[in-house]
Structure 1
Amino acid sequence: MVTKNVQQKQQQQHVDVVVPVPAMVVAAMASPCNFPANKLLRCAIPLAFGFALGIAVAVYLIGSSTPGASIVTGASSSLQLFFPLPSLPPPPPPAAIRKEQQQSPTPPSAPEQTTTINSSAGAASEFVNVGDEELMRMAAAAAAREVGGGGAPKKVAFLFLTRWDLPMAPLWDKFFEGYRGLYNVYVHSDPAFNGSDPGHASAFHRRIIPSKEVKWGQISMVEAERRLLAHALLDDRSNARFLLLSESHVPLFDFPTVYSYLINSTKVYVESYDLPGATGRGRYKRGMSPVVAAAQWRKGSQWFELDRALAGDVVADDVYFPVFARFCRRNCYADEHYLPTFLSIRHPSRVANRSVTWVDWSHGGPHPARFTRMEVTPDFLRWLRGEGGTTTTTTACDYNGGTTTVCFLFARKFLPNSLTRFLRFAPKVMGFG
């Protein structure tokens, strides 16, 4: 009711401003005009003045009538109006890319302290290759530096934690297209993965970091997440927001909307809640006390979004992470508890207590529902975007002190065979491709 009243008040204010426009035009044109030749010039002056005044006022009102709280509408383009993107040079056309590849068939030489990994896969990467302890130390020091430098725009670091390859990469490439200066991609894959590199034109070209084996439900999941954060902190000081994704993630909005939503947010998007029962409090290990008390134990989705300061705190953590590494074993599932507990203890006011990734847990069990090709429809995608639907009403969530229907920016778990449907529907539903 409050939102409706505010909208009605805004509409009434808009009407009150617009009504006088015709009156001003009429008044300016009200001088009586007969049309003998000797009076034509005298009549033309007020007519021209009135016409120009009317056009100027109308243009001003149209430009100023864009609602400042347009984020509540959930429209993909509204965030661009509220939070305009930094200006960037246009991306090179495909022909220029092909020419560059022909002129430089080999990758540039790696800087000091770097190594080439997954060379058998053709995915040569230039990242620091040191032990995890040293990597975290270096990343913590890098995080303390000021974001950006030299007027560079802030960037979003997309951290992909994958088992093997990225079947949705063609969709993500469409999503990233044209915005190369506003993002970075980092991929943690199985070290045994030997797939081919996607090529220079792809956002995933040579973006695999030095990776280690990851096992589901074990502390190695958190180790991989911290490894991704560390490399992103070291790689580019313009990385301001850090987003964890999987190989089954898909974007629900175009890049400008996602970028504006994250860069301008005053909160970070991590779930952190107290859950009674075996899958919540029941996973707590008594050996964690007194560093982590039972009352401090929290749960949440592992698919986080952090700012640079909190990412730095995570990689610098030498108090809580060692306790999790030692005690959170055998049905503890550290990836669902470490970050929610750590942030709840250290930075509770910074957490939005929600994720920007939608997932369906309604059927129960240890894994969420998976979606196949035929389940991907325009109506389903619009519902995920907060645009309502035939089965469920639109919900709202908090954003920077207000409310918005844009609650989820991404969704998972979609099987590889759904890619063709996403490529087909993305242009008319998600606004890219």
Structure 2
Amino acid sequence: MASSSTAKPMEALPSGSGSILSNVVTVLLLLSLGFVFGMVYNANFQESYLTPFLQPLPSLLRPSPTPVNTSWGNMNLVDAERRLLGTALLDLGNARFALLSETCIPLLSFPAAYAFLIGANASFIDSFPTRARHAPFFLRRNISRAQWRKGSQWFEMDRELAIDVVAEERYMAVFRGDHGIANMLEHYMPTLVTLLGWGVRAANRTLTYTDWPRPGPHPASYDVRDVTPELLGGMRRGNGECGYGAGGAGGGALLVAGGFLRGRARQAA
């Protein structure tokens, strides 16, 4: 004869308990996400909080106890560029990163420039072969003449390359070294293209139009009397120059142009 079960039946949960529990879990998840993103976006958090997520950014973003002065042709300008990149990388929504001059003006509308950059599958870093300023100092530190490059300091890159630039320390130490050569900012990032093997990830050209009408340390500049529809139209077309020879501006699309002097424009106006 089979014995009857004496197990106590389960009590039904009060009506609405399931929805209350679901709401509590949702709120806790939102609070957790808010805490994480709050740490990421808050510039005053302790850097140790970010270490598991954004290494090696925290060391670069550590606030300097004293202001850091920059000077033309000095590697401290590259330090400033890397700090700007590191700060921009903290915004997880940033996908492309561009460095422009205060003398740059747009050659295309913002929607056109945005569409071009978001649709691009390469980064734009000016990088071309040269022997200028390559010294035995660099050769002894495993930077050959075949790897040595030069280019404009104005760049545009995707998030992956921006992280590479911020994280790189080995060659940064070499370029900061006691080599006694100026204007290393014209060589450091262009040479990284070969040193880090970026290959097709870098387009080896800039998106900033720069006119080098004659040999010298500075490109051409323009004041208000020089700015005409013909000048801007020629810049949009690259003035027919698609190489790196005298007067060359690089090939392909050009989004901005440099060398426009606001101070002189005010005086002339």
| Shared fold per TM-score greater than 0.5 | yes
| C-alpha displacement of 1:290 | 3.3
Query: Aligned residue for 1:217?
Result: 73
What SS class does the counterpart of residue 176 from structure 2 fall into? helix
From 190, 193, 200, the counterpart of 1:340: 190
Sequence identity (%): 38
Distance 1:129 1:342, change over 3 A: farther
Q: For residues 411 and 211 of structure 1, what CA distance do their matches in structure 2 show?
A: 30
Query: Aligned residue for 1:287?
Result: 137
- Letter aligned with residue 203 of structure 2: A
- 1:299 matched to 2:145? The reply is no
Q: For residues 151 and 263 of structure 2, what CA distance do their matches in structure 1 show?
A: 29
Where does structure 1 lack aligned partners over 5 or more consecutive residues? 1-110, 115-125, 144-190, 192-209, 276-280, 398-404, 421-433
* TM, length-normalised to structure 1: 0.44
From 73, 83, 97, the counterpart of 1:227: 83
Distance 1:219 1:139, change over 3 A: farther
Distance 1:379 1:309, change over 3 A: same
- Pairwise mapping of residues 141-290 of structure 1 onto structure 2 (< 5 A)? 141=56, 212-234=68-90, 236-275=91-130, 281-288=131-138, 289-290=140-141
What SS class does the counterpart of residue 242 from structure 1 fall into? strand
From 250, 262, 266, the counterpart of 1:416: 262
Q: For residues 68 and 126 of structure 2, what CA distance do their matches in structure 1 show?
A: 26
Confirm or deny: 8 A CA contact 2:39 2:45 kept in the other structure.
Answer: no
Distance 1:406 1:419, change over 3 A: farther
Distance 1:286 1:342, change over 3 A: same
| C-alpha displacement of 1:295 | 2.4
Distance 1:376 1:314, change over 3 A: same
Q: For residues 129 and 325 of structure 1, what CA distance do their matches in structure 2 show?
A: 30
Confirm or deny: 8 A CA contact 2:123 2:202 kept in the other structure.
Answer: yes
Stretch of structure 1 that moved more, 321-330 or 349-358: 321-330
Where does structure 2 lack aligned partners over 5 or more consecutive residues? 1-37, 59-63, 244-250
Tell me how large the CA RMSD over aligned residues is. 3.3
Q: For residues 329 and 336 of structure 1, what CA distance do their matches in structure 2 show?
A: 15
Q: For residues 129 and 245 of structure 1, what CA distance do their matches in structure 2 show?
A: 29
Confirm or deny: 8 A CA contact 2:137 2:179 kept in the other structure.
Answer: no
Moved runs in structure 1, 4+ residues, more than 6 A?
Answer: 111-114, 135-138
Question: Which one scores higher on RCO, CA 8 angstroms, separation ≥ 6?
Answer: 2
Deviations along 1:294-327, one digit per CA (max 9) or x if unpaired, are 3211111110111100100111112111111114
* Count of residues in Structure 1 that have an aligned counterpart in Structure 2: 212
- Pairwise mapping of residues 100-111 of structure 1 onto structure 2 (< 5 A)? none
Q: For residues 395 and 284 of structure 1, what CA distance do their matches in structure 2 show?
A: 27
Distance 1:215 1:268, change over 3 A: same
| C-alpha displacement of 1:227 | 0.7
| C-alpha displacement of 1:349 | 2.1
Deviations along 1:156-180, one digit per CA (max 9) or x if unpaired, are xxxxxxxxxxxxxxxxxxxxxxxxx
Distance 1:137 1:407, change over 3 A: farther
| C-alpha displacement of 1:212 | 2.6
Query: Aligned residue for 2:213?
Result: 362
Distance 1:221 1:128, change over 3 A: farther
Distance 1:284 1:414, change over 3 A: same
- Letter aligned with residue 254 of structure 1: S
